[in-house]
Amino acid sequence: MAGRRRVSGSSVIALCLLLVSLVACGGGPVTDSATAEVQRLLDRRAAAVLDRDAGAYAATGTRAGYSELRSVPLDAWSYRVRAVSTAAGSATAEVDLRYRLTGHDRGPVSTARTVQLSREGDGGWRVDSDRPAPESAEQPWDQGTVRVVNGTHSLVLGAGRSTAALRPFAELADRAVPAVSDAWDADWSRSVVVLVPGSLRDMAALLGSPASSYRGIAAVTTGETGGPADAPADRIIVNPDAYALLGSHGRQVVLTHETTHVATRAHTTPATPLWLSEGFADWVGYRDGDRTPRQAAPELARAVADGRLPDALPTDDDFAFTGDAAELALAYESGWTACRMIADRWGEDRLTAFYRAVGAHDRREGAVEHALTTVLHTTPARFTADWHSHLRAEFG
């Protein structure tokens, strides 16, 4: 073939050595050096956040973000640089931000960020922007200046909200925590963190999900099911659009329901079906109220009255936020009535023991069946029949 010449073995070895030398002296160390430089810069920036030092923060680059999170109580704030890509005079760093809220987070929250940087005149780096990485959730300070209200058992954070607007959430949470502790005697933090965004869109951004997933949902709780003792505290995130439509009793039920998820998180595992976790949370939410079963479960009451008795307890798919609103309500109400029946027939202590037994199972398959047998001394068929009888007695 024209233009092709043979390269000797020794030449190949020499060429390989030359390439290794070029990589060792060129591309590799440049990347490593940039990563180390950016890490040192972000370490200084993190120290400035913890020290509340506006001047030191500004010395690392853009001032954006500092005033927005200045009021947030922090025990820890750090960055871990995972990767840096450089161009002419600029760089993009993929970073993990880890932080812990004072008095509430047993372990650090970790969230992915993308940091844009540029070279300064002295050759050092400066931060130009710090934003959530693609597909990562926003943090409250990404949405504006965060106001903080400290309750007796709660911490409420709201972006673009006045402290006066946030105070009622702390009052509701401070009533919810003792109510949950009275119903659930297991060890838990006995405090909650409530995030109050400005809109449904902001709520969804805090969850890293589409807004359509939460339309009509008053609040949700984030957290690691079956998490270790040092897992970060859960966040109760409010949907202000749906929450505003509730009366005072409904708002209390919602905060107590979500607080129950915080309390039971360590005992809620992949073995726990949603009818049990959501039904138990509703049971605690309504436990001290004066709502009748028909008032608390209107969709289920109508279904039973119309002769549409559910064949079985709802599946996890029945709790999808994107489903039909009436069907979603029916799923929640079915779980609530099942837990209410257990509490009425076997006692509240047996209900909490049943919840723990299901979560302690090593897999979903057989978890409920085993707990029915060992804790309630019944069978799945008998339990379903008893639930049907309970529904007819309540709503027939």
In this structure, the answer to whether residues 279 and 390 fall within a common structural domain is: yes
In this structure, the answer to whether residues 393 and 289 fall within a common structural domain is: yes
In this structure, the answer to whether residues 115 and 100 fall within a common structural domain is: yes
* pLDDT at residue number 213: 84
In this structure, the answer to whether residues 70 and 112 fall within a common structural domain is: yes
In this structure, the answer to whether residues 258 and 283 fall within a common structural domain is: no
Does residue 7 lie in a domain region? no
Tens of pLDDT along 193-209? 999 999 999 999 999 99
Q: Give me 138's structure tokens.
A: 């926003």
| C-alpha to C-alpha distance for 373 and 126, rounded to whole angstroms | 63
* pLDDT at residue number 134: 95
Residue 106 sits in a domain of what CATH number? 3.10.450.50
Scanning the chain, the segments in alpha helix (DSSP H) are 9-25, 27-51, 54-58, 66-69, 163-183, 200-207, 240-243, 248-264, 274-287, 293-296, 298-305, 325-346, 348-360, 367-374, 380-395
* pLDDT at residue number 160: 84
Q: What percent of the chain has pLDDT over 90?
A: 80
Does residue 14 lie in a domain region? no
Task: Calculate mean pLDDT across residues 354-370.
Answer: 97
| C-alpha to C-alpha distance for 379 and 351, rounded to whole angstroms | 15
- Per DSSP, 137 falls in state P
At 210 the three-state DSSP class reads coil
In this structure, the answer to whether residues 285 and 205 fall within a common structural domain is: no
In this structure, the answer to whether residues 161 and 179 fall within a common structural domain is: yes
Task: Provide the number of structural domains found in the chain.
Answer: 3
What is the rounded radius of gyration, in angstroms, for the C-alpha atoms of the chain? Answer: 27
In this structure, the answer to whether residues 256 and 153 fall within a common structural domain is: yes
Range with the poorest average pLDDT among 29-33, 223-227, 253-257: 29-33
Of 135, 150, 169, the position where a domain reaches its end is 135
Of 239, 267, 295, the position where a domain reaches its end is 267
Do 371 and 358 touch, CB atoms closer than 8 A? yes
Does residue 262 lie in a domain region? yes
Residue with structure tokens 């605690």?
284
Mean pLDDT of the chain: 90
Does residue 60 lie in a domain region? yes
In this structure, the answer to whether residues 256 and 322 fall within a common structural domain is: no
Range with the poorest average pLDDT among 31-45, 101-115, 210-224: 210-224
**Is the pLDDT reported for residue 386 higher than 60?**
yes
* pLDDT at residue number 32: 81
* pLDDT at residue number 324: 79
Question: pLDDT band at 230, cuts 50/70/90?
Answer: low
Task: Calculate mean pLDDT across residues 76-81.
Answer: 98
Domain extent, residue 40, equals 27-135
Q: Give me 296's structure tokens.
A: 């608390």
Does residue 12 lie in a domain region? no
Range with the poorest average pLDDT among 17-21, 174-178, 327-331: 17-21
